[in-house]
Structure 1
């Protein structure tokens, strides 16, 4: 009987030890799960370009980019693999494409579902049907489609609004957008690298061409500038960045916040530039609406000295689903080499263009950068950076 009591007590003691150990394991596991859950739901508050304080998950894993240029900026930050869907522009079947970020990422057109129409015309129902759901929606040109607050209300997903900016009048807005996106994606360092790349490249262009007297400069003009589609020779840009960055004598220059302008034919003839650059996006029009066709067939243009001397050159389109900043820089070096050959004689234009695309959209892959460069130069049949037959 005594032995039996001893055995019972020993058994109960073992049960207590096992129970305590198990309880400890459960508590430890529960604590671990609680910590993990807290980590998964950790948030930060980001102030977007509209001044809205938006609470978002820290280091989001799934995002979508709405609006012209939003996915381009994400690609600059090397975070394009975080997207889970695209807008319709990425899947559109087109003969022409002058978007380096998309050429470097053909998976955009094949591997992702569409969440809405291009230019920010989002479809909240399609967004809510995505699996997984985006942690954040990044939106440029927030006045297109649903505004940021309305889209956030309809989807329940945080929306970060950005001002896309440009490289001339609104460069700081563009830099602010890169920094905000860097904060959202925990890519602050890369954002600063991209900003430094732009600043250093523009400074190099300016330093090479500063100090040239006006009477020593070659007069120039750019026509065929795209805006929501192709346009003819009279479509120009008064503050054309490649001319500004190289201190060129742009006959159509005007100190104003104006991206594109339609000039009178008579005014262009009066200006009579020595060199005419043609944005090759104009070749999408294969009729009288094309700048090249007009130069070849309009007798009024035959009197221009640029036409007589054959100084007509094609440049890369840059205004394609808003501005492609890398193409602007490549065009700037081409303009520099033509207008100031002695100051750019050390620049290999193809290598420079490859370097630009490699850094901005190819994650340092020079082979891919060379492929993108080749595709861009030959995107319209007639190669960019060459003399045009008129």
Structure 2
């Protein structure tokens, strides 16, 4: 009987052992497959390209105007390993809130020239090496597919959009970026912030009768540098958000435009706003100089009544959306004072910068506000001496 027990027991033990080993091997294989699958995700970028990217990458770079601004909005600017050339330049004027809030950008290595003119060779020498490249304005500079091929690094193309007619592109860019870096919740917070703020501006002014609205005009709008008084924006967002009577309004013209002097004189706006970027010129091409010295402009109602106000520049390496909103509240207080009596402009602007670029630190938001207001020779949000 003892011999029989051994014949039965040994095969049984071997069978159990083999099952346990097989089970352990099967579990290891599944876990590795799961871990590998979780290392990357596949996203669709703004060009409709399918791009495989690491999950929540630690190291990224931002190419093209506005890409690093959006990363800053998502509070993930500490993941960059290098910057494009504009971030390290020492300029006399640089009213970009996201850069003011992050002076350390100037200390990073440069991976290419601004406006998307990347240098693949420099990118490949970065240490640590970026795991993802965010590319704004794919038609500018290096082609995303070619850049990805040359570097072997996933390139995610984005469309910057704007706050008026291309707001969906703007939100899509924030959401795609948020998906890639694992900041989906923050992306939704930023989208909600813009929607809520624009809705507040609109609700305050939407029922003002047309006959009670003051006519207005904004001049000196920047576009790739300073311009004179005739440079305006027919769909100037601060005017749209406050339902203002922009004398130059043209729903078909979605960008800055150079209007004729005759048109401005014919419109004769009651209130004039001047984008302070124009004061960079410091010569006869400045809108301020023109208002002070051009005999024709001296006859304008707003000039004669001293109703000329300086506003923050917002077209500076793409649109600075926080400055757009701050300008809108200022325009609202000037054009509809009874509707904005509860708004402290300084506090509101600080809140905007605190949320978008200050990581919730009010002191950081205040520092950005102070620098933005005093960037130029004329303080923003004040009457101009004309």
TM-score (norm. length: structure 2): 0.91
Residue 272 of structure 1 aligns with which residue? 268
Once the two structures are superposed, residues 216-272 of structure 1 have per-residue CA deviations (whole angstroms, 9 ceiling, x without a partner) of 000000000000000000000000000000000000000125210000001100000
Instruction: Kindly indicate whether the alpha-carbon contact (under 8 Å) linking 1:169 and 1:257 is maintained by their aligned counterparts in 2.
Output: no
Residue 234 of structure 1 aligns with which residue? 230
Query: Secondary structure at the residue paired with 1:299?
Result: coil
Residue 76 of structure 2 aligns with which residue? 79
Query: Secondary structure at the residue paired with 1:302?
Result: helix
Once the two structures are superposed, residues 191-215 of structure 1 have per-residue CA deviations (whole angstroms, 9 ceiling, x without a partner) of 0000000000000000000111111
Once the two structures are superposed, residues 27-67 of structure 1 have per-residue CA deviations (whole angstroms, 9 ceiling, x without a partner) of 99xx79x9599469811001000000000111101000000
2:70 is the alignment partner of 1:56: no
Query: Secondary structure at the residue paired with 1:198?
Result: helix
Residue 133 of structure 1 aligns with which residue? 129
CA distance in 2, matches of 1:241, 1:282: 18
Equivalent of 1:335 in 325, 331, 337: 331
TM-score (norm. length: structure 1): 0.90
CA distance in 1, matches of 2:82, 2:192: 30
Residue 90 of structure 2 aligns with which residue? 93
Equivalent of 2:103 in 90, 103, 106: 106
Tell me, which stretches of 5 or more residues in structure 2 are unaligned?
1-20
CA distance in 2, matches of 1:266, 1:240: 20
Equivalent of 1:282 in 278, 284, 295: 278
Alignment length (residue pairs): 361
Aligned counterparts, 1:8-87, within 5 A = 38=35, 42-87=39-84
Residue 379 of structure 2 aligns with which residue? 383
CA distance in 1, matches of 2:259, 2:78: 43
Residue 203 of structure 1 aligns with which residue? 199
Aligned counterparts, 1:118-129, within 5 A = 118-129=114-125
2:315 is the alignment partner of 1:312: no
CA RMSD of aligned residues (A): 1.7
Q: Which runs of 4 or more aligned residues in structure 1 lie more than 4 Å from their structure 2 counterparts after TM superposition?
A: 34-41
Equivalent of 2:175 in 153, 176, 179: 179
